[in-house]
Chain A
Amino acid sequence: MLTDGQTYGDEAKCLALAKQANEQYIGISGLGIGSEWNDIFMDQLVSTTGGSSVYIARDEDIKGFLEHEFFRLYQVYANSVCYRYKHQPGVELQYAFRLQPEPARLSITHEAGEDVLEIGSLPIDLPLNFLLEFLVQPISGEVDTLTLMDGRFKMSILPEGLEDYSRRQTLELPARMAQAGDNRTASVPPAIVQALSRLTLYRMQEQARQDLSNGDIPQAAQRLKSLATHLYAHGENELAQTALREAKNVQQKHALSPTGGKSIKYGTRSLMLPAMIEDRKR
């Protein structure tokens, strides 16, 4: 979808159409051009189908994006991948973010007594990676295994003629290892640590926007300055300068500039592209 992202009071209709498209195995990826489009609404719209949005600041970048997008469509094995699960007592999925094939925050909706995590498409040759953040309440000592998620992956695998393929999958945590005083530790793969480090930067800009909408100007400005420090430390000087400029904008005008806000959002998100993480590892 090539759009300026502006709606005229028909957001609900747009979202309903996107949902309908998703039910027919049609994914939507958005390409926002210029600086005035509504990126928040666009993200909401495309995440309904597991798609992602891209910010194009310059006209000459459109061709490259479309080539990439068409190539990506050739690489799709399954469409409309989602995970439908029943809510587990004491466990709350707070945040979900897809790292690969395209970084994007995943939407979690509630439908017919189940929670639904819209994941997007499954590529042929690439893994599908996403990070999930759970908030787990204290559990009793008798529990051996804590079930975080119990549900089914559902997807459409058209090359195999499977329109409504489904497979049960549970995610469990060995609760015994979690008892107080247990000194056992487990290694966290460096790739996950790296991804978390990048995701923190993306979430800081999300929170700065939230601070702004709550009217907490000093907090938003401070968060953008802290973000700039981390970006400088990661060698992302241009993005860091943008974050500092936006901190100033927030202090003076109580708002992000349309271009700067998008640059920070999509810039921090692109840091999570696998190639970026691999580059840093080298």
Chain B
Amino acid sequence: MKECPYCHHNEITGAFFCSHCGSRLGVLNKLSYPPFVTSEPQPLPSELKHEPDKPPRVALEVLGAGKVLPVEMEGEATLGRYNDGQPLIPDIDLTPFGAQQAGVSRIHASIIMNINGIALVDLGSINGTFINGKKIEPNVDCPLKNGDIVSMADLKLQIIIEK
């Protein structure tokens, strides 16, 4: 089973979207096959010695506001804005930085960590998401590096990644 990070509804392994609240479950442009087989393969000797790397620290600087927002990377952090009564709340609420006037959607984009590092995913926002001026495809994870400028509609953020 897979738990929805937003409403904690349990979905079957392999589901792409939560059937309860409609939120996206994980990274969609990389299909990870469900574990059909119950027996676990034996780890390789090299894997036994391997210690996992510490995850990088990620933050966003809201350009023009001079404010740095730390990003808690527990798999995924959604970016957007909040209106009263909205049932799905983004992890990082950009409302105080003029997100509504700038055209940011309620659930606009998310920052994720995948096997290649930190990436940004546009979640089908109406006004689009750009990395260094280049528009990204919705629902496709696009790699981010330290110093990248992310535009969510007219709101600009700089990515800070500390390894």
Contact = CB atoms under 8 A, between A and B. Distances in A.
Interface of A: 135-136, 138-141, 146, 175, 177-188, 190, 193-194, 196-197, 200-201, 203-204, 207, 222-223, 225-227, 229-230, 232-235, 280-281
B51 to A, nearest CB: 18
B22 interface: yes
Interface of B: 7, 12, 16-17, 19-22, 24, 28-41, 80, 85-88, 105-108, 115, 123-126, 137-140
Contacts, number: 120
Contacts of B88: 226, 229-230
A135 B12 contact: yes
Interface of B is mostly: loop
A140 B106 contact: no
B124 A179 contact: no
B34 A178 contact: yes
A136 B32 contact: no
29 contacts: A141-B37, A178-B35, A179-B37, A180-B35, A180-B39, A181-B41, A184-B33, A185-B31, A186-B31, A188-B28, A188-B30, A188-B31, A190-B138, A193-B139, A194-B124, A194-B139, A196-B28, A197-B139, A200-B22, A201-B22, A203-B19, A225-B85, A226-B87, A226-B88, A229-B86, A229-B87, A230-B88, A233-B106, A233-B126
Interface of A is mostly: helix
B124 A233 contact: yes
B37 A178 contact: yes
A247 to B, nearest CB: 9
Contacts of A141: 37, 39
B21 A197 contact: no
